[in-house]
Amino acid sequence: MVDTLELILRHRQRSPTTRSGELYYEMLVEYFRRPLRATEEGTPLVAHTAYIPSEIFYAMDLVPLHLESFSIISPAVLHNFEEMSSVAKGFGLTPEVCSAHRVQAAWFVQGWLPRPQAVVWSQQLCDSINHSGALLQEAYDLPGYFLDRPYYIGEREVHYYAQNLAEMVEFLEGTTGHRLDQDRLCQSLAHTYEIAQAEREMYALCRQVPCPMPNRLGDELFSICNWLYLGTPEGVDFARAALEEVRGRVGRGVVPQENHRLISLYPPPAFSWKLMDWIEREHGATIVARPYCLHWAPWEPDFSHPLESLARRCFAIPISRHFHAPMMEAMVPDAVEDAIAHHADGGLFFAMINCRQGCAMVRPVKDALLQQAGIPTVVVDVDVLDPSFASDDDIKDKLESFFEVLAERKENVL
């Protein structure tokens, strides 16, 4: 997988597009190369699921391995979803189970992951993750810790979560022998804050007409800054580079003519990010809002109480704050607010078919966007990892019809 990512990187370097585009692949390669090096160098490697606060790993000098990223990126790069799916089936995981978890399980069963020293997992996206962590623990016979994030945000919940974080640190100290460095934790929180501020500024700039952020960049930011490099100087570099580019495009946008301004409500299929380029290039359709990636709740670091501050950060970060919370308090109001503020004229919901979290939100979000923001939403059924479920062509057909609807609506208004 690392080799293929390197090939993609070299291709990008030969045909450069943007600094962030190049950095994106450089950083992916580096991120996934590190676990291999860590094993050789004897640095403890810790596998973890989405939204385990990576600031802790950096403050303890541990090498993290983000399992969902791995399972989302690997089949897209290796084109081996079918193989992974059949390994998972042999393990008892049916196609109805979320494909991200099936791919993870397949890697575990095959023993293809570099061996971590510990695993830490959490339910901050969904509780399918509860068992994925347990599976890895069992398959590799590893010590593990489950980080329990409360559902609501309130003082009692923050306190409880901070306690859980302290226990997680204790667990990691015990299993790896590395101590938490409080100064480094504060530094890491400062990096996270800088990333959050850059994302907030970029997101605010997306309100401009035309939108200055390319369609891919939102998802790249999500992957690099919110998942893989949160709390690191590298993450800050990426966010800065992206911010510079977005600032530089203010006033001129990313396409010669912006025909449709869309709010995206769920990640696009991982096997075809090119779709996002295609809607931009062929249809002048720009993603001007993506609350699940970029809508942060208010948060500022408090260096006098770093763990508590980290706990508050975990409640504020997008997608975790949208998925592990009442939908009428986060996902729905954020979508409506962003659709209006960003002047979106249509909603785009990639409905991941085996994700009960995402699918349950389809109708309330769609209704709220129509009633409160006055815009229609196209729901495209996909399996974000399985290209055989809905092909590029199927998706393009559906999107083209939607763009026709949007064009007609515009004509009627004019």
Partner 1 sequence: MKITVRDDTRYHQLIKGLDLMAEHRRRHPTTESDAMYYRLLADYFRNALNAGEAGKMVVANTVMTPSELFYALDMVPLHLEGLAVISVPVLKDSDHMFSLAKSFGLPPEVCSAHRTQIGMSLLGALPADVVVTGHNICDGSYKSGDLLRHLYDIPGFVVDRPYRYSDADAQYYAGELEELVQFLEGVSGHKMDWGRLAQSMECSRRMMELHQEIYRLRRSVPCPSPNRLGTQLLFLGWLYMGTPQGVEFFETVLAELQERQARGQGYVPQERFRLLTIFPPPGHKMKLLDWMEREHGAVMVADPYCSHWGQFEWDDSRPLVTLARKWMASPLNRQMHGPAELGWLPDTVEDALAYKVQGAIYWAHIGCAQGCALIRIIRDALREKAGIPTLVLDIDVLDPSFVSEEELKDKLEGFFERLEEEL
For residue 114, the partner it binds in ligand SF4, partner 1, none, with Cβ less than 5 to 8 A by kind, is none
Those residues whose C-beta lies under 8 Å from the C-beta of residue 320, and which sit 6 or more positions away, are: 50, 51, 124, 125, 149, 314
Please spell the DSSP secondary structure of 121-155, one letter per residue.
EE-SS-THHHHHHHHHHHHHT--EEEE---SS-SH
Residue number, 305 or 356, with CB nearest to partner 1: 356
Residue 336 lies near partner 1 (rule: CB under 8 A):
no
Helical pair 2-14 and 19-41, crossing angle rounded to 10 deg: 150
- Residues 287, 195, 359, 371: is their CA dihedral positive or negative? negative
Residue 93 lies near partner 1 (rule: CB under 8 A):
yes
Residue 381 lies near partner 1 (rule: CB under 8 A):
yes
Helix segments in 222-273, DSSP class H: 233-248
**Helix, strand, coil abundance in the chain, percent, nearest 5:** 60, 10, 30
For residue 100, the partner it binds in ligand SF4, partner 1, none, with Cβ less than 5 to 8 A by kind, is ligand SF4
- Residues 63, 66, 69, 71: is their CA dihedral positive or negative? positive
Residue 103 lies near ligand SF4 (rule: CB under 6 A):
no
For residue 360, the partner it binds in ligand SF4, partner 1, none, with Cβ less than 5 to 8 A by kind, is partner 1
**400: helix, strand or coil:** helix
Residue 98 lies near ligand SF4 (rule: CB under 6 A):
yes
Binding partner 1 by CB under 8 A: which of 3, 40, 42, 92?
A: 92
Q: Mark 122-151 with x for binding to partner 1 (rule: CB under 8 A) and - for no binding.
A: -x--xxx-xxx-xx-xx-------x-x-xx
C-alpha–C-alpha distance, residues 343 and 287, integer Å: 11
- Residues 150, 372, 267, 31: is their CA dihedral positive or negative? negative
Residue 76 lies near ligand SF4 (rule: CB under 6 A):
no
Long-range contacts of 84-88 (CB under 8 A, 24+ apart): 85/386
Q: How far is the CB of 210 from partner 1 (least distance, A)?
A: 31
- Tell me which residue of 271, 273, 220, 215 sits closest to 390, measured CA to CA: 271
Residue 122 lies near ligand SF4 (rule: CB under 6 A):
no
Helix then strand count (H, E) for the chain reads 18, 8
Helical pair 128-140 and 67-78, crossing angle rounded to 10 deg: 80
C-alpha–C-alpha distance, residues 320 and 167, integer Å: 21
Total interface residues for partner 1 by CB under 8 A: 50
CB under 8 A: which stretch of 259-267, 278-286, 305-313, 352-360 binds partner 1? 352-360
Residue 264 lies near partner 1 (rule: CB under 8 A):
no
Q: Mark 318-357 with x for binding to ligand SF4 (rule: CB under 6 A) and - for no binding.
A: -----x----------------------------x--x-x
Question: What length does the chain have?
Answer: 414
Instruction: Give residue 145's Cα distance to chain centre.
Output: 22
Q: Mark 203-222 with x for binding to ligand SF4 (rule: CB under 6 A) and - for no binding.
A: --------------------
Binding partner 1 by CB under 8 A: which of 328, 394, 397, 400?
A: 328
Which parts of 156-175 interact with partner 1 (CB under 8 A)?
Answer: 156-157, 160, 163
Residue 128 lies near ligand SF4 (rule: CB under 6 A):
yes
Residues that bind partner 1 in the complex, under the rule CB under 8 A: 91-98, 101, 105, 109, 123, 126-128, 130-132, 134-135, 137-138, 146, 148, 150-152, 156-157, 160, 163, 324, 326-328, 351, 353-354, 356-357, 359-364, 366-367, 379, 381
Residues that bind ligand SF4 in the complex, under the rule CB under 6 A: 98, 100, 125-126, 128, 323, 352, 355, 357-358
